[in-house]
Chain A
Amino acid sequence: MQEFEKQVRAARGRQAELAEVRTKLQAALHARLAETGEAERDPKVIELRAAIKALQAEKYDLDQGLSAASKPTHTLSAE
């Protein structure tokens, strides 16, 4: 159980990190869009969007994993 709880803690930490990075990337994207207005052709915008997409994919997998690995509904503690 200790190993399981350690893994869940690590996954939650990574989840928080990803949320923070996503916020920063989105702020950068919005700033770039406001600055250039050339959304579709601007390589920086394309790069930022790709980075956000990749991050979202990792976060989705993590969310799913954490949901599945959440605490058991019931426990039978066998002596």
Chain B
Amino acid sequence: MAAYNKFQAFVENIAEKVHNLQSDAITAALTATASAPVATNSVLADLTQISYTNLSSRVFTVTTSAQSSGTYTWLLADLTLTASGGAVAAFQYVAIYNDTPTSPADPLIGWYDYGSALTLLDTETLLIDFTTSTFTLV
């Protein structure tokens, strides 16, 4: 299991109405082994992304954005990234950011470490499999 790592700025952005986590365009950003995200990164421009040539859509669907008994749960639907027409550049980290806000632009939310560099060859897929929640707020 890959642990959810939080970008520190995310909690402030929640408090300062940067995000609408129910309706905004939540997107995946991929970075190579040599460009690991760090918790102090705050916007997409802080990351060095790979080239997305030959890769399918990186936009998530929000499955759950709701509270129950005071605990907020945010869950993304599983997303399959598919290489089509050729291989995709190697990556190791999958970051999640919000593509909708403009100030700050493209704020980061969290990231996962695949554990090693991964190259998707033509027709290969990576399933990003979320379990019961992407994160909760209490």
Identify the A interface with B (CB < 8 A): 1, 72-79
CA distance A77 to B29 in the complex (A): 16
Count B-side interface residues using an 8 Å CB cutoff.
20
Verify B120–A73 contact, CB threshold 8 A. Answer: yes
**Cross-chain contact B78 with A79 (CB below 8 angstroms):** no
Given A77-B131, A78-B134: A72 in contact with B126 (beta carbons within 8 A) = yes
The number of residue pairs between A and B whose CB atoms lie closer than 8 Å in the complex comes to: 46
- Asked if residues B129 and A77 are in contact (CB atoms below 8 Å), the reply is yes
Instruction: Write the residues of chain B forming the contact surface with A, with a CB cutoff of 8 angstroms.
Output: 1-4, 78, 80, 94, 112, 114, 118, 120, 124-131, 134
B1–A79 CB distance below 8 A:
yes
When chains A and B are docked, how far (Å) is the Cα of A17 from the Cα of B114?
40
Majority secondary structure of chain B interface residues (helix, strand, loop or mixed): strand
Q: A1-B78, A1-B129 are in contact. Are A76 and B114 (CB under 8 A)?
A: yes
Q: Which of A1, A72, A76 contacts B94 (CB 8 A)?
A: A76
| Chain A contacts for B114, CB-based, 8 A | 74, 76
Most B C-beta atoms less than 10 A away, residue of A73, A74, A77, A78: A78
Q: In the assembly, what is the distance between CA of A73 and CA of B125, in Å?
A: 5
Bound Cα distance from A78 to B133, whole angstroms: 9
Q: Considering the complex, give the chain A residue whose CB is closest to the CB of B94.
A: A76
Is B125 touching A77 in the complex (CB atoms < 8 A)?
A: no
Cα separation A79 to B135 with both chains bound (whole Å): 9
- Are the C-beta atoms of A78 and B127 separated by less than 8 Å? no
B73 to chain A, nearest CB (A): 14
